[in-house]
Chains A and B, each alone.
Chain A
């Protein structure tokens, strides 16, 4: 199939339709509005439901009711509003795919690319002890491919799955080969259809008895342990590396260019790119940290994923951090400079 030149937001939307999307609920927010706009045009003609809600709070609760392959998309301020609903979805084990095209924060911030929602996406699905599974694409093609993966994971684990992108990924255009459409065979024995056989189906996250709620939580935690097998990451030029750069999403794209330039200058640098942010590729980071002499984490934030890297590295090597934020995007020369500083630090040691 010929690749089509496609915006990140639209590639995700089309990929979702081809994954068997039955319903989309959302609320406009920059920089992801092309995604609902695309679905408003294309989803109804393919038999799906598109509805613009009165708020992200309402939209995520519509998602909770859908009982079918369903998606919602937003950026930071809207992602905050969805936390309440996501907690209910996680607690009641209702699947969905949620896209967060991150922008500068906190507060209203701005609409430029950022990666400041890492904590909110990976550490807790709203209140309580639940988690989202989180995927972080670095190209339009990968955004398209991971959208299919996200729906499959959501169904397999009966848990919301987040696609964590940023304004740059959502807005940029790249050649994309779209996947063939599938009609997913789904076990929806949990869904409230009003017509299930057997006893009435109840979707709830309420357990008044602490014993029952603890059991629900144990089930969730067991699920997240099983999800460890879904860990995805990519290594680049790591074999003889002294300096390992760890970055995800668009930051990793910038870092790869910097790694290549460092190699041109004789610095043995490599790249670790987490693709699943939860579950985090801790073992991979630990293994790499055991082989290199220093780790450099770079994000479009004040330092969020770096905490997971430090936990994984567990003191094996120094872990340095470089971040730009507030909508500022780091450049390859900036990252190259950081790689060189890290390299000279370990040469001096």
Chain B
């Protein structure tokens, strides 16, 4: 390699993403999701006006990876904390980063009412069909028949109902301006996921209403699978239950 040769930087660590060892398990897609959020914040030039809200679960330490102001919320309450921040500082960009136990179980009241009020916040919703941090228990998003530590014989819909489709639940609310579901299981899906996050933040910047990106994610340890198998399982088993796509998008921010 010739050191004098002119080089164009085509790839690098986004400045908002802190260079630090990860605590996430091998094959977990939280790291990808963090990176995408960091890239979007950098590309939209939002670093000096963004506040994140971390929730309870594996991503509770999101502020160790994303170099913006952060507030850590109680389990499920991130949309309420984000509401408090955004209402007092309407000119700032506020996002929550929540898992499925947090958002779709204990925090259903907070997410539905923040969405229904049309809070100008962006929600990054990680759906990996399981409680990761507490050790692989059933989540509201757990698939029918899926084995978890609290459904050892598989999720029985007679006992526990069916997987909760959050994006479909929220999209019809008038306060919701942008709702999509993406996946983090392949480079092509990751690219689409990033575009979706960008549109969600743009929706907030344009003051159009509430925005949410549901990201189908892996939890190899919680699922008892290798990282490669987990990616395959996600596409084979989760895609049919959680269809991908933009459920709602304002015309002006559609790509």
Interfacial chain B residues near A200, Cβ < 8 Å: 63, 67-70
A63 CB-CB contact with B under 8 Å = yes
Known: A65-B81, A194-B48, A201-B70. 15 other contacts (CB 8 A): A53-B80, A54-B109, A58-B110, A62-B80, A62-B84, A67-B85, A84-B74, A85-B77, A192-B70, A192-B71, A194-B50, A195-B48, A200-B68, A202-B63, A206-B61
Chain A CB count within 10 A is highest, among B77, B109, B112, for B77
Contacts A57-B109, A65-B71, A203-B71 given; indicate if A193 touches B80 (C-beta within 8 A): no
Shortest distance in angstroms between B161's beta carbon and chain A's nearest beta carbon? 22
Closest to B66 in A: A200
B84 and A63 form a contact (CB under 8 A) = yes
B217 CB-CB contact with A under 8 Å = no
Contact of B73 among A51, A53, A61, A67 (CB under 8 A): A61
The 3 tightest CB contacts between A and B, nearest first, are A65-B84, A62-B84, A61-B80
Contacts A54-B110, A57-B109 given; indicate if A202 touches B87 (C-beta within 8 A): no
A194 and B92 form a contact (CB under 8 A) = yes
Chain A 200-242, CB-CB to B under 8 Å as 1, else 0, gives 1111111000000000000000000000000000000000000
Interfacial chain B residues near A169, Cβ < 8 Å: none
A residues bordering B, Cβ < 8 Å? 22-23, 25, 49, 51, 53-55, 57-59, 61-68, 70, 84-85, 88, 92, 192-196, 200-206
Interfacial chain B residues near A59, Cβ < 8 Å: 80
B151 CB-CB contact with A under 8 Å = no
For the residues of A in contact with B, the DSSP-based class is mixed
B113 CB-CB contact with A under 8 Å = yes
A58 and B68 form a contact (CB under 8 A) = no
Chain B CB count within 10 A is highest, among A53, A58, A63, for A58
Interfacial chain B residues near A88, Cβ < 8 Å: 73-74
A61 and B113 form a contact (CB under 8 A) = no
Shortest distance in angstroms between A299's beta carbon and chain B's nearest beta carbon? 32
Interfacial chain B residues near A22, Cβ < 8 Å: 88
B109 and A49 form a contact (CB under 8 A) = no
Kindly state the separation between the CA atoms of A62 and B114 in the bound complex, as whole angstroms: 11
Contact of A49 among B74, B87, B113 (CB under 8 A): B87
Shortest distance in angstroms between A202's beta carbon and chain B's nearest beta carbon? 5
A206 and B84 form a contact (CB under 8 A) = no
Kindly state the separation between the CA atoms of A52 and B31 in the bound complex, as whole angstroms: 36
